[in-house]
Amino acid sequence: KESIPQATPTKTGIDNAVDKVAEVTPKIVEPIADNTSKPIIIYNVPSRTGVNVLPSTYAELCEHKNIIATKEASGNISQIAKLAQLVGDEMDIYSGNDDQIVPILALGGKGVISTVGNVIPKDMHDLCASFFAGDLKKAQELGYAEANPAADVEGLDAARKTAILCGLCFGKLVAPANI
């Protein structure tokens, strides 16, 4: 299916265009939620969007039946703990930072929407499966050693660093053009 153009959302347009909606700016989440029956995951990635969704905002947004989850990548564990306290079971929380998966799972998170998981999906699966099976030691080991092999490499983003370290990338890497 094709992506939604940046315009005023309509129910028919959204419902026919996508299976799920991932939205990054709180100001337009509710109008989208009002015009679709699709589940919506809020992406809180302030380092990329310049907008940080606060726990109090989540508490309001989770009242909408279509807003079901968040990819939480604020990097602020105290904020995520407050979020979990405020929304309870009304909204699922997924780690959006590969180096914070275990702490977010420990706060009640349901999993991860991962960058490096695109390169090493089995490691990410094993990390979450270990945590949910009660093997915290294995989850902690995977949480840094295997699932985040690129943490100490400077420069490129995590997915590209991981691909290089895993021997999955050859040739010259070029940064995307600025738009």
Catalytic residue among 1, 65, 71, 161: 71
27 is catalytic: no
Catalytic residue among 43, 58, 94, 161: 43
Give the C-alpha distances (Å, rounded to integers) separating 40 from 19, 28, 45, 153, 174: 10, 12, 15, 34, 33
38 is catalytic: no
Q: What is the DSSP string of 126-142?
A: HHHHHHHTT-HHHHHHI
Report the distance separating Cα 38 and Cα 21, nearest Å: 7
Report the distance separating Cα 121 and Cα 147, nearest Å: 9
Instruction: Provide the pairing of β-strand 92-95 with 67-72.
Output: parallel
Residues with active-site annotation: 43, 71
